[in-house]
Amino acid sequence: MSVFFSRQSCIASLIAHPQAIEVKRNTPYIPPEIILVILKMLNDDKKTLASCALVNRTFNLHAIPILYHTVSFTFPLTFTRFADTIYGVTESSSLIRHLDLSGFSTC
């Protein structure tokens, strides 16, 4: 039994089961301006903001700049990993406005 379906069989399935399309029509719409206001309220909760960035493209579009705006580190290793992650990724690195390294211990 093949797990691959042709495009025609998928379309035929949607036509045979129109309730599958209804789910998309009934999905609530939140204007991007409202999403941005909500996400800005979460400015200090980076974990929740990171989860919000995974909801959909609209949430991601607004959550990522808030997440990258102020980046804080307490350990050199986490900073190094972060730097390795964003190195060469202009879209992400250009969003950083404040880089806080004050948590590093002074040896």
Count of domains in the chain?
A: 1
In a domain, 61, yes or no: yes
pLDDT in tens, 38-49: 999 999 999 999
Residue 85 lies in a domain: yes
pLDDT by residue (tens digit) across 52-80?
Answer: 999 999 999 999 999 999 999 988 888 99
Model's pTM, two decimal places? Answer: 0.67
Read off the DSSP letter of residue 26: T
In this structure, is residue 94 part of a structural domain?
yes
Burial class (CB in 10 A: 0-12, 13-18, 19+), 95: middle
Residue 63 forms part of a structural domain: yes
Residue 19 lies in a domain: no
105 within some domain: no
Residue 46's domain spans which residues? 30-100
Q: Residue 89: its pLDDT value, please?
A: 85
